[in-house]
Amino acid sequence: MHIVIMGCGRVGSTLAHSLESRGHSVAVIDQNAESFRRLPADFAGLTVAGVGFDRDTLLEAGVERADAFAAVSSGDNSNIVAARVARETFGVEKVVARIYDPKRAEVYERLGIPTVATVRWTADRMLRAIDPHGSQEVWRDATSSVSLVEVVLDAGWIGRRVHALEDATGTRVAYVMRFGLGTLPTASMVLQEGDQVFMLVTDDIADTVTGIAGAAPEGNE
């Protein structure tokens, strides 16, 4: 794939290096040519000094043949304008933008532009570490119909199988983090102390699922 990245800060340079190490061709755009110093010495991709939503700059970066575009500059407005130009003008299939303002992120998600809401994500993870109660949304689809939430399990669920939790809540366990590794659960998987459980929900059942997971299970498995 050919990927165009707008912004060569810490995120952009790290993303460029990671993508290139996976065998992809990469072009990085930044208004300040000095920013390209953050790239590894052996970076073999394109570096283009210019405004990330300028047509000529994007063409120089190869946007017409790009399979993906990532807008990760420090400005919300620049990121979203560049993302829209990449998608709507050049038809890039995979477009994502980093957004600092959580409210803006929600708006653009509903417009079908995937966003990474940096401030919200960081604050949510900090809150989760400090006060791990209830549920925490970690992802929502572009149509805002389905979300992925991390639920806090009552101690009574420990030692029970995943299918018991799914039967009780009426939804699916998407994955379990165990010892720092993500695991795709099977129905027979037994929940252990320290597991982080992530479940798929819709808004109408989110509170119910959270309540069931956070209370002692009824009856025997």
Domains of the chain, residue spans: 2-117, 132-213
**Residues near 81 by Cβ (< 8 Å), separated by ≥ 6?**
53
Q: Residue 218's pLDDT is what?
A: 85
- 192 and 178 in contact (C-beta within 8 Å)? yes
Report the phi/psi class of residue 19: left, alpha or beta, with left for phi > 0 and alpha for psi in -120 to 50. alpha
pLDDT tens string, the chain, 221 residues long: the values are 999 999 999 999 999 999 999 999 999 999 999 999 999 999 999 999 999 999 999 999 999 999 999 999 989 889 999 999 999 999 998 998 888 887 777 777 766 777 777 766 666 666 666 665 666 777 877 666 888 998 989 999 999 999 999 999 999 999 999 988 899 999 789 999 989 999 999 989 999 999 999 999 987 65
Report which secondary-structure segment, H or E, holds 27: strand 25-30
Give 61's DSSP letter. Answer: T
Report which secondary-structure segment, H or E, holds 179: none
Tokens of 33: 């040519």
CATH number of 132-213: 3.30.70.1450
Q: Residue 67's pLDDT is what?
A: 95
Q: Residue 19's pLDDT is what?
A: 94
Give 96's DSSP letter. Answer: E
Name the nearest CA neighbour of 197 among 130, 149, 163, 155.
Answer: 149
pTM of the model: 0.62
- 7 and 67 in contact (C-beta within 8 Å)? no
Q: Residue 102's pLDDT is what?
A: 73
Q: Residue 85's pLDDT is what?
A: 95
Q: How many CB atoms lie within 10 A of CB 137?
A: 13
- 70 and 19 in contact (C-beta within 8 Å)? no
Q: Residue 131's pLDDT is what?
A: 61
To the question of domain 2-117 being in CATH 3.40.50.720, the answer is yes
